[in-house]
Amino acid sequence: MQIKQATSADLETVCQFYQEVCAQQQGDEYGADWHWGVYPNRDLLADRIDNGMVVEGLVNGQVATVGILTTGEDSNYRPPPICRQQELSGPGPG
């Protein structure tokens, strides 16, 4: 897999990738609750690309994955309290 930073020339491909992800999640009980046009949306992705935050993973020249790189902790992605408690106290028996 080749990893590359997305550029403004990649915006359409990145948007198409996320549209497909959002469509697939509709039937996924455990996936993220994303809705194309709400989150993510074209303006957000364009902004993230312009700020050098989007990477693409290419396999044989085709986009296989896209990621947005951020720093810090996003409150939308924190694990449930029971998981954080386990994290803080160390691994359980086993």
CA-nearest of 79, 68, 3 to 39 is 68
Number of domains in the chain: 1
The answer to whether position 28 is within a domain reads yes
How many whole angstroms separate alpha carbon 54 and alpha carbon 74? Answer: 16
pTM score > 0.85 for this model? Answer: no
CA-nearest of 58, 76, 75 to 67 is 58
- The more confidently predicted of residues 34 and 56 is 56
- Containing structural domain, residue 12: 2-89
How many whole angstroms separate alpha carbon 92 and alpha carbon 86? Answer: 7
Number of DSSP helices (H) and strands (E) in the chain, helices first: 3, 3
The answer to whether position 32 is within a domain reads yes
The answer to whether position 94 is within a domain reads no
Please state the rounded mean pLDDT for residues 1-5.
Answer: 97
The answer to whether position 35 is within a domain reads yes
Q: What pLDDT band is residue 28 in, cutting at 50, 70 and 90?
A: confident
Q: Is the peptide bond before 81 cis (omega within 30 degrees of 0)?
A: no
The answer to whether position 65 is within a domain reads yes
The answer to whether position 45 is within a domain reads yes
Helix or strand holding residue 49 (H, E)? helix 42-50
